[in-house]
Amino acid sequence: MTDMALVLGATLCMVAFHINVVEAASRSRWGHLFFVGLAIGILAKGPVAIVLTSIPIFLWLLMGNRWSSLAFLPRKTGIPVLATLTLPWDPMAPGNCAYSQR
């Protein structure tokens, strides 16, 4: 399979998003796991992981008119989790900035 780490990240995003919406009892844990899945995807294949996971979630929200369920995501604590997992690698890799200027 092409890039199983990306598959794992994307699957974790889908599963965690759905459980976060439909199971009120474990909302916090799976809401944060959604951002962990996003971090796995980003470390596996870069920011394109956000696009790959948001397309099916967008369609799911659109098809059932489920936009209100977006509010269940723990953004205030989840985005810092995502940032601490993904941001440290980028400036540590020498030449990353130089590459983007090429």
Partner 1 sequence: MVTVDPELQYIRERKAPAPVRTFKLTSIQQRFLFGFLATLLGIRLVLIFWLPITDTNEARYAEIARKMLETGDWITPQFDYGVPFWGKPPLHTWFSAIGMKVFDVGHFGARLPILLLSFAVLLLCFTWMRRQRGSDQALVGVTVLAPSVLFLDPQLLS
Binding site for partner 1 (CB under 8 A): 1-8, 11-12, 15, 18-19, 21-24, 40, 42-46, 63-66, 68-69, 89, 92-95, 99
Print burial letters for 9-27: b (CB count within 10 Å at least 16), e (below 16): bbebbeebbebbbeeeeeb
d(CA 22, CA 15): 11
Nearer to partner 1, 54 or 69 (CB): 69
d(CA 21, CA 96): 37
Nearer to partner 1, 63 or 101 (CB): 63
Burial of 44 (0-12, 13-18, 19+ CB in 10 A): middle
Nearer to partner 1, 68 or 101 (CB): 68
d(CA 91, CA 66): 38
Nearer to partner 1, 79 or 90 (CB): 90
